[in-house]
Amino acid sequence: MSLAEITNGSHEGLRTTASTVPNGRTNGRKSRNVTESLSPPEVALPSPAVSLVIPARNEARNISWVLEQIPDTVTEIILVDGNSTDVTLTTARSCRPDIRVVRQEGIGKGDALRSGFLAATGDIIVMIDADGSMSPQEIGHYLHFLANGYDFVKGSRFIGGGGSLDISKFRSLGNKFLLTVFNTLYDARLTDLCYGFCAFHRRYLEHLSLSATGFEIEAEMVVHAMQAGLRIAEVPSLELPRRDGDSNLRAIRDGIRVLRTVLRDHRAGITGQLVQSIRDRRPASVTTSIGAIAGSA
């Protein structure tokens, strides 16, 4: 029988039967289906390498908890040290001898993350804070969506299953305002903007074109991911209280920097229209400050 008959779907005669010997007994060879022998063996694809980037500065009391929670799916841990003056590095190396330490040359969270991204060698990059406010055990959710067609996955505190035990009412209002501006300008339907638990395929790092030096890098990543046409997914995440110490986040200062980033990077020319509409609806004292922000963006 020819191979053409097999590919055409004719299975008649493809099952070899046991041959019969003169005494009526078979020779012991079992019947088998030829089509089964022609099927290629299933090959398991290797799991992608995952790099976890953790920016840290004076987080000696928090870093061990974070490192102990990291799942085995993470194959590379990069700690970007922002010139810590405490025992952050000693503690980290004691907890994870395999950790890679990158010395930050500049200042700011954005600068630290960019240094870590460039040092990463994994197929996937995950970013997380060192203060214990994010659970590394959630990383699996991010990897799941990246393995199923998405390019950029970000955590959200404001969808079902997510939440925050740390955000203040003032910061919550600010986040809602910035999110509204972002969704309006970029025709998006995201539920959280200023949250630094994200993961993406490293092959898209160049397309993100990151340049921010501070906390605004979180918004810059989302803006540039949208502009690059990446498929974005949000997964629920629970923000925990910082385990120890004080945050370097300054709500008003960093909120203004996020707003500038969102406005500056918009390419459709709607920025001026948005500012004008706000001016028409706000008192003079407020419009003056908004105009100053837009002018410096």
Q: In the chain, which ranges are continuous DSSP H helix?
A: 3-7, 34-38, 63-68, 88-95, 109-119, 139-146, 169-186, 205-208, 217-227, 251-264, 270-281, 284-296
Residue 151 has pLDDT above 80, yes or no: yes
Average pLDDT value for residue range 158-166: 88
Average pLDDT value for residue range 222-234: 95
Percent of residues, the chain, with pLDDT higher than 90: 58
Mention every residue, 6+ apart, whose C-beta is less than 8 A from residue 32.
Answer: 15, 16
- Per-residue pLDDT at 249: 63
Q: CA–CA separation, 23 vs 271, rounded Å?
A: 93
SS3 148: coil
pLDDT digits (tens, 9 = 90+) for 233-276: 999 999 998 777 666 666 678 788 889 999 987 864 444 444 44
CA-CA distances (angstroms) from residue 215 to 141, 153, 194, 278?
24, 18, 8, 25
Query: Rounded to two decimals, what is the model's pTM?
Result: 0.74
Count CA atoms within 13 Å of residue 116 on its CB side.
29
Q: Which tokens is 3 given?
A: 């191979």
Could you count the other beta carbons within 10 Å of the beta carbon of residue 14?
Answer: 16
Euclidean distance between the first and the last CA atom of the chain, given in angstroms as a whole number: 74
pLDDT digits (tens, 9 = 90+) for 270-289: 444 444 455 455 554 443 44
Average pLDDT value for residue range 94-114: 95
Could you count the other beta carbons within 10 Å of the beta carbon of residue 248?
Answer: 14
Asked if 155 and 128 touch (Cβ cutoff 8 Å), the reply is no
- Per-residue pLDDT at 40: 59
Q: CA–CA separation, 140 vs 127, rounded Å?
A: 13
